[in-house]
Amino acid sequence: MERWQHYSQDPNAENLIALRREAVRNARTNRLIDDRVAYLCELVKDKSVLDIGVVEHTSDAVNNPGWLHGNLKRHARTCLGVDVLEKEVAELQKQGFNVICADVTREPLPQKFDVIIAGEVLEHLDAPGRFMASCAAMLADGGRLAVTVPNPWYANVLLKNIFRHITFVDSSDHVAWYEASVLYELGQRHGLLLERCTGIGSTRSTTLKAKFFFELRPLLMQAGLSSELFAKSIIYEFVRL
């Protein structure tokens, strides 16, 4: 799909909305994966990789077997980590990790990468456009950007927002929610095409009702419910236009 101005001067024109729906529908894989880290590790296998937001809040994440950067570096050909948290980055450097302190929303790094991973980063940023522009500039020919963000259409989020007695807060540090059409437009503005989006299924249920609901998800999806209803977060994959 071309930029929307190619079809109409009205962003809400009926034919344009139909085209955007088709583009988003084609990008959806309509499946769920249970292991985000394993999926991303397969994506970076034998590639040159930039991992953005490597610290994951504190340097203690390095001790977690599920720490994304630690897993990515074991599968990538080369893996550079970047974060804005200076003290935590310095600690990781002392432990031998190839990480640097930089803010890619200000300017891109001079290197080019086959794959850029931004795991649960975009929802924290107040400059998403500059972030996407930098990622586009840092991608090698044929490169791929994989962004994972919380899903606003997740069943648990929807349910906790419709009841008056519940005040839902996903994270005190989040400044935005993203969904497929919004990210399709954000990507296009900066030379990136949303090629694929895949839900990450929630595997932790704390109540019997929740466990029952998620056990039924294959049947509910077969009956026509969107897989995104069961995805706590979603992986959006972009390629350079």
Cα 115 from Cα 154, distance rounded (Å): 27
Architecture in CATH for domain 15-151+175-204+232-240: 3-Layer(aba) Sandwich (3.40)
**61-78 confidence digits (pLDDT tens):** 888 899 999 999 999 999
Q: What is the model's pLDDT at position 205?
A: 57
What is the DSSP secondary-structure string of 181-241? HHHHHHHHHTTEEEEEEEEEE-----SHHHHHHHHTHHHHHHTT--GGGGEEEEEEEEEE-
Q: What is the model's pLDDT at position 217?
A: 79
CB neighbourhood size of 103 (10 A): 14
Query: Which of the residue ranges 39-48, 59-68, 195-204, 224-233 has the most confident prediction, judged by mean pLDDT?
Result: 39-48
Q: Which residues contact 5 (CB under 8 A, 6 or more apart)?
A: none
Q: What percent of the chain has pLDDT over 90?
A: 78
Given pLDDT bands bounded at 50, 70 and 90, which one contains residue 237?
very high
Given pLDDT bands bounded at 50, 70 and 90, which one contains residue 214?
confident
CB neighbourhood size of 19 (10 A): 17
Q: What is the mean pLDDT of residues 199-206?
A: 73
Cα 4 from Cα 8, distance rounded (Å): 7
Asked if 68 contacts 40 with a C-beta cutoff of 8 angstroms, the reply is: yes
Q: What is the model's pLDDT at position 211?
A: 73
pTM: 0.92
Residue 204 in this model has a pLDDT that exceeds 90 = no
Q: What is the mean pLDDT of residues 151-175?
A: 91
Q: Counting every residue, how long is the chain? A: 241
DSSP three-state, residue 29: strand
For the record, the structure tokens of 224 come out as 């026509």
Q: What is the mean pLDDT of residues 71-95?
A: 96
**102-121 confidence digits (pLDDT tens):** 999 999 999 999 999 999 99
Q: What percent of the chain has pLDDT over 70?
A: 97
Residue 213 in this model has a pLDDT that exceeds 80 = no
Mean per-residue pLDDT over the chain, rounded: 93
Antiparallel, parallel or unpaired: β 231-240 and 192-201: antiparallel
Q: What is the model's pLDDT at position 116?
A: 98
Q: What is the mean pLDDT of residues 171-193?
A: 96
Give the distance from CA 198 to its chain's centroid: 10
Name the CA radius of gyration of the chain, rounded.
19
Q: What is the model's pLDDT at position 222?
A: 84
Strand boundaries in the chain, DSSP class E:
28-33, 48-52, 78-83, 99-101, 113-119, 139-150, 192-201, 231-240
**13-56 confidence digits (pLDDT tens):** 999 999 999 999 999 999 999 899 999 999 999 999 999 999 98
